[in-house]
Amino acid sequence: QRRNVSRNAATPTATGGNSAPDQGGQSSQGAVANGVSGDSYLVSQQLEKARGMLRSYRSKLARGEGTKTTVERGVAKWEKEVERLEFELQNLNQ
């Protein structure tokens, strides 16, 4: 389960829904069964990971490591992901 979650952590779904399978692997039914707490826990875990990735890309950029365009693309990607997850978490916690 753990590996499954981290593999999907940075994969935004087409619908913008929850990309992390919960324990049942079906977000909608699982959310009903577990209450929101399970989903919001998963999303906050993903958010921590995304923030870490963003931090590492930003420091790579600051140190001038790697190809500039690749690193900038990484920064942009993780900024967008952090934003998306924060938004998702807000909606879950309403």
Q: Going residue by residue through the chain, which has 94 residues, state the pLDDT in tens, using 9 for 90 and above.
A: 444 444 444 545 444 454 554 444 444 444 444 555 788 999 999 999 999 999 999 999 999 999 999 999 999 999 999 999 999 999 998 8
Separation CA 63–CA 28 (nearest Å): 43
Question: pLDDT value at position 38?
Answer: 82
**Taking the CA atoms of the chain, what radius of gyration do you get in angstroms?**
15
Q: Collapsing DSSP states into helix, strand and coil, what is residue 42?
A: helix
- What is the reported pLDDT for 6? 44
The pLDDT assigned to 37 comes to 72
Domain boundaries, the chain: 36-94
| pLDDT on residue 24 | 44
